[in-house]
Structure 1
Amino acid sequence: MPTNTSELGDFAQRIEVLILPVSDVDRSRDFYVRLGWRLDVTPPGVVQLTPPGSATSVQFGPEGFTPAAPGSATAYLVVADIVTAREALVAAGVEVTDYFHATPDGMAPGLDPARATYRTRATFTDPDGNTWILQEIATRLPGRE
């Protein structure tokens, strides 16, 4: 079983903020606020938002804030009930793909028949094309909070 130690030691390391490459800061801010993400206090010119229940935020800013091309990011957005989450996103005007799930042979259409945790996904994109993979995780693996 893997351990959490390395040559660096065994100190806590957390991902707090991910930078999203966007072309229009105001449009992106409005999109994420429409999803119910909290607008955080940041330095001038920087926008930071945090999804409900998340310890990790996203940031974006003016041209040059990141060298990445707008729309080039992909990240997971974990939810406890993917059906409820997808319905809420669609109601907010977001285009969300149909469900698909992991099988031993790859991805298959639809919800996982057993609704097993970590299996079912759907995707959506923000106005720039950054991709969010919704993943249903109802029960975490041991050692995960």
Structure 2
Amino acid sequence: MDLKLEVVVLPVSDVDRAKAFYEGLGFRMDVDYSGDRGFRVVHLTPPGSQCSILFGNGVTTAAPGSVQGLHLIVDDVVAARAELVERGADMSEVFHDAGGVFHHAGEEGRVSGPEPERESYGSFASFSDPDGNGWVLQEVTTRLPGR
């Protein structure tokens, strides 16, 4: 049986502001639907992704900005970071983790610059949307077996 992650719901405080932010980063607009009593669903997809994000009014009870650790996989973290900065994202510097396996939560264990050997899964950069939902770019050039 295949189980495919299709949509991640993001809690936001201002739907139009979030929509403008993500469209500015190059996310594709899929749906912007308004219904009765202020209900609204906005659905966007990151470039090249099979999984989308969804936010709006009446779609989640989670606190705005409470989603953390969403990963966007890129071939070149330095180039992807530069493009997102150009598009208006307030990005961290590129970093790798002192432990060498995966980044810690927050900024603990961050070492400036890409992973020294540029090994897959080892280099990162981060940013947040206007509400504080946290994203991480992760460089993957060679997938682990079975992925």
TM range (shorter): 0.7 to 0.9
1:28 lines up with 2:23 in the alignment? no
Is contact 2:25-2:88 (8 Å) kept? no
Is contact 2:12-2:65 (8 Å) kept? yes
String of CA shifts for 1:66-110, please: whole Å, max 9, x gaps. Answer: 111000111111111101100001111211001111343654221
Q: Distance in 2 between matches of 1:70 and 1:129?
A: 7
Which 5+ residue runs of structure 1 have no aligned equivalent?
A: 1-10
1:86 lines up with 2:81 in the alignment? yes
Q: Distance in 2 between matches of 1:103 and 1:88?
A: 26
- Opposite residue 71 of structure 1, the aligned amino acid is G
Alignment RMSD (CA, Å): 1.4
Deviation at 1:43, TM superposition (A): 4.0
Moved over 4 A (4+): none
Deviation at 1:42, TM superposition (A): 5.2
1:52 lines up with 2:53 in the alignment? no
The number of residue pairs the alignment matches comes to 133
Q: Distance in 2 between matches of 1:129 and 1:107?
A: 20
Which 5+ residue runs of structure 2 have no aligned equivalent?
A: 35-39, 101-108
1:133 lines up with 2:123 in the alignment? no
Identity, in percent, stands at: 51
